[in-house]
A and B are shown apart, each in its own frame.
Chain A
Amino acid sequence: MKTIELETPDQTSVRLQITGAEAVIQSLKAEGVKTIFGYPGGAIMPIYDALFDHLEEVNHVLTRHEQGAIHAAQGYARTSGKTGVVFATSGPGATNLITGLADALIDSTPLVCITGQVASHLLGTDAFQETDVMGISMPVTKWNCQVTKAEDIAPTLAKAFYIASSGRPGPVLVDITKDAQFEKLDFSYEKCTAVRSFQPKPKLNADQLQAASKLLNEAKKPLMIVGQGIILSNAEEELRAFAEKTGVPVASTLLGLGAFPAKHPQFVGMVGMHGNYAPNVKTNECDVLLAVGMRFDDRVTGDVSRYATQAKVVHVDIDTAEINKIIKADAPVVADAKEALTVLAGLVEKQTHQNWLDEFHQAKQKELQVLSENREKEFSDELRMDLVIDLLSQKTKGNAIVVTDVGQHQMMAAQFYQYNQTKSNVTSGGLGTMGFALPAAIGAKMANPEKQVVAIIGDGGFQMTLQELGTMMQNNIGVKIIILNNGYLGMVRQWQQMFFEKRYSFTDIQSPDFVALAASYNIKGQKVERQEDLNNALDQLLNTENAYLLEVKVAREDNVFPMVPTGASVAEIRLQ
């Protein structure tokens, strides 16, 4: 006899039907996103409308410019280790993100940027606020994708978060057409855990690690240079254990500052164009150079053909394309820094290199003495950048989050602030983006409301993104701002002085009354011009609970030294 089969209810049909815009917000919640930086506009309005129902779970910070939003997300990501999230509209909204994308790509910062786009039937018609965001952002993103159907939103965002934060992190842009934001879909969210064509973490190669440890065990004068890769892979503890076992002097790149505490007896300073004397000179004296999580930027190497040619180079990096890109590695280790250092610490023998280490420290003392004597001779009782930063470092014990812009003050901060905490150094390293610091500091403070966040900025850079004072005012963000005002675009002026016969072509820059400007945003501040006023002014800055702006008039024609001039070898570093 034929039986009758009862129909089972279709599980999928009971799923919630929501709009694509709502799916964006639900996807972000599923990824644990708590803070978004952004700016609304026509093509992203449905997403902003959906966001309006979730403000208790997701905080959105309205910046004053999309560039401010993306730099804030960078500051947030770099001080929290989380992926920064940005909203912007189509056309100009999206193009205003480009500088931040380029900055985040070169400095390996995980971001997911969501841009609205005109409706899919208008793509390619020169519609209002339509621009080829995919094409424009391709060279400055780790990955980008355009979504024209609501059903693709959740899987694309899942992939975006996975790609942004896995392996060597970077910015990802997802462009969503307006019709996809309105369209209804059956929503479900599944986190992405793998992409077939993307291998984020190379498998450890035992032979490579053996070869590296053999070189390290034979080394008489080893030198280690650490980069941001340590911070990105959370390898600070592994680095310390490895360094203490091997007794190796540890130098840092600009972005690596903070990965290894400045107060550690094995820390020997920064390498590079404006790095410290000893780690630069001794790069060309060491027998084994161990580079971990850094990429031999030209500002680090100087003349590549005369860089560490005497040394065996061990290069540990997660990105295969970085190996042998600039400096040929005798022992390449393609690996995550944390994993590699863990294994290497087990393979290396316990050693001390006290005499070798002492040479670094003696050179550092001499360097500081020469620099300070020269400056005192030239500027007598004037205020100077190094004095401000040195005092700030003492007062905060090197524990504040210090966000710097680009130029002379940036290099002074790198030299004189003793970064003792990881994820406490935020600066635009690879791209050198002026205007980065103020918005990045806002993001850093959002991620670390309990910490002291100090933005050190030049008078030029501050004027590039000072509109973000409005963001601080509206959201009551307690960033402490120090403007080191020398009335010049100082780094360019320094180069004009040294290499262009003092022809100061367009580097003399006037500024508004910064204290009055801050006051108009309801931010307290003061200006100091004499050395004797600095101490109290810094106390006031640090002890104020809310935002504060301190303008310091510093010596106009101070220069950053040490310096490896362009084209020179690191051994030719100059102290004056």
Chain B
Amino acid sequence: MNKTFTVSIFTENTIGMLNRITIIFTRRHLNIDSITASETEVKNVHRYTIVLRTNREQIDKVVGQIDKLIDVLKAFVHEDNEVVHQEIALYKIKTTELKSINVEQVVRENSAKILTIDPDFIVIEKTGHKAETQVLFEKLKPFGILEFARSGRVAVTKPMKELSAYLKELQNN
């Protein structure tokens, strides 16, 4: 049965790492829903968070192949209930539309915030799960959204083990 999985990959900071990871999905005809990459709390260790829908058997094999990459320190796979995750969305709408929207109500009800007000446009920011940012999108849509951008998922896992503990294990082996 297909489900949403969050794959967290910790890697060395080397050129081409993203390509090494993504070709493993490409080869298996798997489409990635979202991907984010950033440095972690440990210097020179990078973290990739990849979200996709597939089945358990397939994702376990894919993560096995990712873990096998020389420059990958460790790869994990989690289901939604095992991670705390968040996405950020930015909505650009015409300043003239302010008259027709009750801005205060929208911001309050959606725990959104206004990032900037320009004579021509305003930018509203909302963080949340994809479904939540989508709700706001639907609300603002009637007023004309000039531009919309949503980030990939960032996620931390619920188990308490620290990354540095894994790194120590790797170095001691």
Contacts and interface: CB of A to CB of B under 8 A. Distances in A.
B64 A197 contact: no
Contact of B73 (A142, A197, A319, A324): A197
B68 A196 contact: no
B165 to A, nearest CB: 15
B83 to A, nearest CB: 23
A163 B70 CA distance: 8
B19 A196 contact: no
Nearest to B66: A321
Interface in A194-235: 195-199, 203
B71 A325 contact: no
B105 interface: no
A325 B64 CA distance: 9
Contacts of A139: 23, 27
B49 interface: no
A135 interface: yes
B144 interface: no
A195 B64 contact: no
A320 interface: yes
A246 interface: no
A317 to B, nearest CB: 12
A320 B170 contact: no
A473 B55 CA distance: 56
Given A139-B23, A325-B61, A325-B64, A198 B70 contact: yes
Contacts of A320: 64, 67-68
User: Could you say which of A134, A135, A139 has the most chain B C-beta atoms within 10 Å of its C-beta?
Assistant: A139
Interface stretch (B8-16, B90-98, B126-134, B148-156): B8-16
A143 B72 CA distance: 11
Contact of A196 (B64, B65, B171): B171
B70 A138 contact: no
Interface residues of B, number: 22
A138 B16 contact: yes
Contacts of B164: none
Contacts of B170: 196-197, 199
Given A139-B23, A320-B64, A321-B65, A197 B70 contact: yes
A146 interface: yes
Contact of A197 (B11, B15, B65): B11
B36 to A, nearest CB: 20
Interface of A is mostly: mixed
Interface string A145-160: 0100000000000000
B20 interface: yes
Interface in B117-173: 167, 170-171, 173
Given A138-B20, A325-B61, A197 B12 contact: yes
Contacts of A134: 15-16
A142 B70 CA distance: 7
A105 to B, nearest CB: 12
Contacts of A199: 170, 173
Contacts of A321: 61, 64-65, 67-68
A163 B173 CA distance: 16
Interface string A53-88: 000000000000000000000000000000000000
Contacts of A143: 70-71
Contacts of B61: 321, 325
21 contacts: A134-B15, A135-B19, A138-B20, A138-B23, A139-B27, A142-B70, A143-B71, A163-B70, A197-B11, A197-B12, A197-B73, A197-B170, A199-B170, A203-B173, A319-B68, A320-B64, A320-B68, A321-B61, A324-B60, A325-B61, A325-B64
Interface of A: 134-135, 138-139, 142-143, 146, 163, 195-199, 203, 319-321, 324-325
The 4 nearest A-B residue pairs measured at CB: A321-B64, A143-B70, A197-B73, A198-B70
